[in-house]
Amino acid sequence: MHVKTEKRSLPDNRRRFLVTGAAGFIGRHLVESLLCAGHSVRVLIRNPGRAEGMAGTEIFKGDLTVPESLEGIEVGIDTVIHCAGLLGKWGVPETALYDVNVLGSTHLLRRFIEKGLHRFVYISAGGVTGPVTEAPVDEAYPCRPKTAYEKTKCLAEQKILSLSGQNGVSSLVVRPTFVYGPDDPHKLSLFRAIKNRRFAFIGNRHSFVTPVYIDDLVIGILLALENGSPGEIYIIGGRKPVTKQVLVETIAAALKVKCTRVSVPGRPAWLCALGLEIMGRMLHFEPPLTRSRVSMMSDNYGYSVKKAMQALRYRPKFEIKQGIQKTVDGYQKAGLL
């Protein structure tokens, strides 16, 4: 399901882009923006069945983990936005995450060495820092990734910036924070749980998260593309972090339901999740609660966008109340809530 977003502008100079991960939530919105601005867009697709709805793009069939399948992907391309990545879902082995997120990213970058590339933008994740002890933190905060997904995204950042520096490729990293929007499939379960009164706070409900509406994120990525400096990392998020309680209360208000007061202490929730994970492996089912979800709900993930505001002239437009309402309206219009 793709809900059309507002048209976004780009500078007048037209380019020939490669976008990976174009079938994903962020990738779809980026491709739409680039096409609306008149750019030429090639998309890397591993599964041709996911190319549906990509009218106006040039489809390149390939697999990041198979270097030979990428032969020729660089021809005629002057700008790359690398969004593709494997998410840390239940049951995905760490080796698979490494193969896609780390090796796959370097395979792609190597295709563009000495090809006169204008810019290579790697879309990472805010969570590469791991849980933070204070909030908000910026790009200088030392990364201590906690999950396998965060570890591989962090390592991919390092590999890309190192390889780019050694070979004169103009690369930079964008770290999106907690992204949401009307057609985001990943946050839908949270909205449904709150609507159906099946949501409970875990651990510290006053821990931070930094929501960013999809339109603001796309603008931030494009500003990094135009105004960012090679070798730099930019956090792109909302105007300021909010507590988990504020986030949930805002969603509940948009859904016109009462916000839950139920709260589960962090340590018992972590032990419960561990037990469910063990049972899930033994009995081959996906546990309803995992340790990574407990961390996401209870730990601090508050970030500062000061660097992006100063260096990129990034100005997020959507306050959380406005963005959440647009998201709820979109889900409801699509019959998902």
DSSP 42-104: EEEESSGGGGTT-TTSEEEE--TT-GGGGTTTTTT--EEEE-------TT--HHHHIIIIIII
- Taking alpha carbons only, the member of 175, 67, 169, 171 closest to residue 130 is 175
Confidence of residue 90 (pLDDT cuts 50, 70, 90): confident
Give the residue, 55 or 309, on which the prediction is more confident.
Answer: 309
Query: How large is the average pLDDT for residues 110-119?
Result: 94
Helices (H) and strands (E) in the chain, counts: 11, 13
Lowest mean pLDDT among 44-48, 58-62, 158-162, 306-310: 44-48
Confidence of residue 4 (pLDDT cuts 50, 70, 90): very low
Provide the whole-model pTM: 0.92
Torsion of CA 313, 21, 318, 310, to 10 degrees: -20
**Cα–Cα dist 166/78, whole Å:** 19
Neighbours of 272 (CB within 10 A): 17
Report which residue type is found at 132: V
**Cβ–Cβ < 8 Å for 118, 172:** no
Check residue 5 and give its pLDDT: 36
Confidence of residue 207 (pLDDT cuts 50, 70, 90): very high
Q: What angle do CA 32, 172, 123 make, to 5 degrees?
A: 45
Query: How large is the average pLDDT for residues 110-118?
Result: 94
Please count the residues of the chain: 337
Confidence of residue 3 (pLDDT cuts 50, 70, 90): very low
Task: Judge if the upstream peptide bond of residue 136 is cis by omega within 30 degrees of 0.
Answer: yes
Is it the case that residue 125 has pLDDT exceeding 70? yes
Structural domain boundaries in the chain: 16-184+211-239+302-317
**Cβ–Cβ < 8 Å for 237, 179:** no
Is it the case that residue 211 has pLDDT exceeding 80? yes
Check residue 119 and give its pLDDT: 96
Query: How large is the average pLDDT for residues 62-68?
Result: 96
Mean pLDDT of all residues in the chain? 92
**Cα–Cα dist 255/90, whole Å:** 28
Q: What angle do CA 105, 20, 167 make, to 5 degrees?
A: 40
**Cα–Cα dist 218/126, whole Å:** 15
Check residue 1 and give its pLDDT: 32
Check residue 315 and give its pLDDT: 97
In words, the CATH class of domain 16-184+211-239+302-317 is alpha beta
pLDDT, tens digit (0-9, with 9 covering 90-100), for 315-334: 999 999 999 999 999 999 99
Query: How large is the average pLDDT for residues 80-86?
Result: 96
Query: How large is the average pLDDT for residues 90-100?
Result: 92
**Cα–Cα dist 262/270, whole Å:** 16
Check residue 7 and give its pLDDT: 40
